[in-house]
């Protein structure tokens, strides 16, 4: 083990270690803020000049980050942003939080991770610690990142450390944030795990070490595959009220966890992560049919919502074409501004293809782009002028009873109208 590696525990203790976070989105910026808050000199790296300028101006663009805290950290020079990746050579701990989207065939797109690994190769030096946080398939850390970094001649576990730690950010969660959500760590070697554990303990309450980077990668896939499959279990075709069944089953104090249906899966985790495992298993000549079936059901939900809207209009002798339809909520879940992979965008596209006059309202999302068309949110007033309203996200700002009393039809995908029996002739439930 090199001398610079041996110095890391003391540098962590004294807060003289330097930190970097590559990728300043929903995962990277909250992580950079927590690291800087713990006392480490932190640089956030991003290719977006706008993000870099915003942070260096002490301004925030992520809902889960405290505006005042970010401004204070920037002002005290504990946190800054940069697009100059040559500054990586000055950093001791480097966390990678870049996107890992799916390609058109739902295969993992590793291009961002590969690009970062190629940048790191240019500046890798003895004593550095590299931590991959981007969600990916089991084997990415030691099959993609490790060989690339070792092309420098430096060896993991000896000259530098390498580990995987899955992000567990839940946008908009008021009870659990980065600090009080247990952190999983899997290093390439035992020493890699130990040094990353020591580092993360300075800004995360609980750190759990697993046996390998592959095990850590699989943890995140398991978490979201479990949720995706359970969300895919529906009773609609049986003519049973799904919400009633779930609420009754949730009364069991053990062995059951409730998952609630909606217009489809959204966010950067549940709709995407299971496909990393499907792809990896295909390489091993194994067909993960259960995951694929759940995806098939979940992916069909925007079509089901569109059909519900069409049927509700048809029952009132109105065609979808030229009907005025208001989408209520385009964020993928309540009270956040994140609309990545939101099923609302698919519903808008499907209705647009049928010739509907589609508008949307979302207090957290001022504008969106759907299938090449820009949409600007409309005010939530005079809802009676719409032929149908589809409630896709139930933000707390919505006065559901008032909306129902004024609208012509409400397609409720979130069970927000529970208890409003007096308006049954206006409400269509998912």
- Which residues neighbour 304 within 8 Å (Cβ) at sequence distance 6 or greater? 236, 430
Q: Which residues of the chain form CATH 3.40.50.720? A: 3-213, 300-429
- Residue 246 is predicted with a pLDDT of 75
Using N-to-C axis directions, what is the helix angle for 28-37 and 67-75, rounded to 10°?
A: 60
State the CB neighbour count (10 A cutoff) for residue 118: 12
- 231 pLDDT band, cuts 50/70/90, is low
Contact 224, 276 (CB under 8 A): no
Of the pLDDT bands very low, low, confident and very high (cuts 50, 70, 90), residue 289 is low
Over range 304-308, report the average pLDDT. 91
Q: Is the pLDDT of residue 196 over 60?
A: yes
Is residue 41 within 8 Å of residue 197, measured between CB atoms?
no
What's the pLDDT score for residue 240? 64
Beta bridge mates, 357: 324
Q: Could you tell me which residue, 292 or 216, shows the higher pLDDT? A: 216
The H helix count followed by the E strand count for the chain is 16, 15
Interatomic CA distance for residues 102 and 265, integer angstroms: 15
Residue 17 pLDDT exceeds 80: yes
pLDDT at 298: 74
What b/e string do you get for 45-61 counting C-beta neighbours within 10 Å, with b at 16 or more? bbeeeebbebbeeeebe
pLDDT of residue 236: 57
pLDDT of residue 166: 92
31: its two tokens:
């992580």
b/e burial code for range 127-153 (CB count within 10 A of at least 16 → b): bbbbbbbbbbbbbbbbebbbebbbeee
Q: What is the pLDDT of residue 29?
A: 97
Model confidence pLDDT, tens digit, residues 33-75: 999 999 999 999 999 999 999 999 999 999 889 999 999 999 9
Report the top-level CATH class of 3-213.
Answer: alpha beta
Mean per-residue pLDDT for 340-345? Answer: 91
206 has a pLDDT exceeding 70: yes
Integer Cα distance of 171 and 361 in angstroms:
20
DSSP reduced 3-state for 163? strand
β-bridge mates for residue 44, sequence order: 21, 81
| Contact criterion met (CB below 8 Å) for 196 and 129 | yes
Q: Which of 97, 192, 235, 269 is catalytic?
A: 269
Helix axes 301-315, 289-299, angle to 10 degrees: 30
DSSP state of 143: I
Q: Does the active-site annotation cover 407?
A: no
Sign of CA dihedral 185, 188, 189, 195: negative
How confident is the model at residue 178, as a pLDDT? 93
Give me the architecture of the 300-429 domain, per CATH.
3-Layer(aba) Sandwich (3.40)
CA distances in angstroms from 22 to 45, 131, 167, listed in the order given: 5, 10, 13
Q: How many CB atoms lie within 10 A of CB 368?
A: 20
Please name the residue that has the structure tokens 């976070």: 21
């Amino acid at each position: 083990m090199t001398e610079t590696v041996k110095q890391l525990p003391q540098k962590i203790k004294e807060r003289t270690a330097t930190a970097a976070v590559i990728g300043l989105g929903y995962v990277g910026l909250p992580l950079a803020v927590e690291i800087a808050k713990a006392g480490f000199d932190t640089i956030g790296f991003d290719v977006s000049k706008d993000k870099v300028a915003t942070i260096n101006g002490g301004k925030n663009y992520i809902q889960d980050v405290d505006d005042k805290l970010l401004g204070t950290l920037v002002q005290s020079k504990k946190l800054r942003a940069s697009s100059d990746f040559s500054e990586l050579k000055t950093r001791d701990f480097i966390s990678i939080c870049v996107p890992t989207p799916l390609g058109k065939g739902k295969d993992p797109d590793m291009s961002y991770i590969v690009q970062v690994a190629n940048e790191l190769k240019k500046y890798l030096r003895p004593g550095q610690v590299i931590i991959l946080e981007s969600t990916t398939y089991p084997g990415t850390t030691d099959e993609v990142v490790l060989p690339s970094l070792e092309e420098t001649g430096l060896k993991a576990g000896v000259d530098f450390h390498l580990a995987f730690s899955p992000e567990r950010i839940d946008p908009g969660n008021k009870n659990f944030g980065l600090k009080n959500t247990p952190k999983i760590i899997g290093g390439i070697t035992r020493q890699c795990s130990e040094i990353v554990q020591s580092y993360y303990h300075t800004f995360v309450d609980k750190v759990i070490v697993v046996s390998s980077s592959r095990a850590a990668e699989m943890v995140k896939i398991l978490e979201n595959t479990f949720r995706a499959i359970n969300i895919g279990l529906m009773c609609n075709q049986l003519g049973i009220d799904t919400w009633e069944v779930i609420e009754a089953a949730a009364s069991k104090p053990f062995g059951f966890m409730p998952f609630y249906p909606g217009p489809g899966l959204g966010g950067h985790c549940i709709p995407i992560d299971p496909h990393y495992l499907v792809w990896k298993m295909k390489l091993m000549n194994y067909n993960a049919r259960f995951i694929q079936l759940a995806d098939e059901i979940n992916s069909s939900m925007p079509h089901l919502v569109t059909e519900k809207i069409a049927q509700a209009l048809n029952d009132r002798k109105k065609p979808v074409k030229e009907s005025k339809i208001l989408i209520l909520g385009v964020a993928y879940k309540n009270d956040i501004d994140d609309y990545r992979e939101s099923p609302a965008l698919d519903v808008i596209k499907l209705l647009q293809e049928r010739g509907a006059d589609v508008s949307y309202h979302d207090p957290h999302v001022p504008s969106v782009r759907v299938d090449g068309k820009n949409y600007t949110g409309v005010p939530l007033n005079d809802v009676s002028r719409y032929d149908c309203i589809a409630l896709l996200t139930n933000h707390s700002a919505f006065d559901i009873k008032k909306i129902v009393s004024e609208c012509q039809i409400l397609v409720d995908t979130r069970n927000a109208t529970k208890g409003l029996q007096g308006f049954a002739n206006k409400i269509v439930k998912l």
